[in-house]
């Protein structure tokens, strides 16, 4: 009771000449996000997660690589591939597997949403997942299941 109201000292960040650290000053929580997921904080992971959390356009690995390079020009495409797989495995990012296209990524969404792919433009549109989840829950429930996770990609063409 005596200590519970004491505020923790803000963690002092190691500010170096490197741009990556400066970018992380804006989002110090991201390092904690990595630690909370049981991952060691490496500069590569920190840069990638910084970029991904700032974007809402569902980049693929090549696009991520181009952006991350601006923060850290020592990073390689192979590292981005490996890192995305690590981040996906611990549930920090969601991998969107699309037909005939490289997988795209987003931070694990705090709100439930699904995606619609415009087949002509390739644009990925976020759609609310609630109604879709209701239907899926009903179907699964009738079969005696409860849904653990789901993600729907609707392939569509403008009318």
Contacting positions for Zn ion (CB under 5 A): 106, 126
Q: Which long-range contacts (CB under 8 A, 24 or more apart) does 138-144 make?
A: none
Return the number of the residue (27 or 126) whose C-beta is nearest Zn ion.
126
Comparison of 75 and 93: residue with beta carbon closer to Zn ion:
93
Q: Give the CA count within 13 Å in the CB-facing half-sphere of 107.
A: 15
Q: Shortest Cβ distance from residue 43 to Zn ion (Å)? A: 26
Give the whole-angstrom CA distance, residue 85 versus residue 82. Answer: 5
Q: Cβ(65)–Cβ(80) under 8 Å?
A: yes
Q: Minimal distance in Å, beta carbon 60 to Zn ion?
A: 13
Distance CA 42, CA 9 (A): 23
In the bound state with Zn ion, the residue whose beta carbon lies nearer, of 28 and 102, is 102
> Angle CA(78)–CA(55)–CA(90) in degrees, nearest 5?
55
48 close to 84: Cβ distance less than 8 angstroms: yes
Query: Which is closer to Zn ion, CB of 88 or CB of 126?
Result: 126
Shortest distance (Å) from residue 114 CB to Zn ion: 8
- Least CB distance from residue 54 to Zn ion, whole Å? 14
């Amino acid at each position: 009771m005596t200590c519970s109201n004491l505020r923790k000292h803000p963690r002092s960040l190691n500010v170096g000449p490197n741009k990556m650290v400066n970018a992380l000053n804006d989002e110090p929580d991201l390092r904690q996000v990595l630690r909370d997921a049981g991952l060691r904080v490496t500069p590569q992971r920190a840069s990638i997660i910084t970029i991904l959390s700032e974007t809402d356009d569902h980049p693929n690995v090549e696009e991520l690589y181009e952006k991350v390079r601006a923060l850290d020009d020592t990073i390689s495409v192979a590292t981005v591939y490996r890192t995305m797989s690590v981040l996906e495995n611990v549930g920090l990012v969601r991998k969107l597997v699309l037909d005939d296209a490289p997988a795209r990524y987003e931070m694990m969404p705090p709100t439930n949403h699904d995606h619609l792919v415009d087949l002509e433009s390739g644009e990925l549109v976020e759609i609310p997942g609630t109604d879709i989840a209701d239907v899926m829950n009903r179907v699964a429930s009738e079969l005696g299941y409860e849904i653990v996770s789901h993600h729907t990609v609707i392939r569509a063409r403008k009318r």
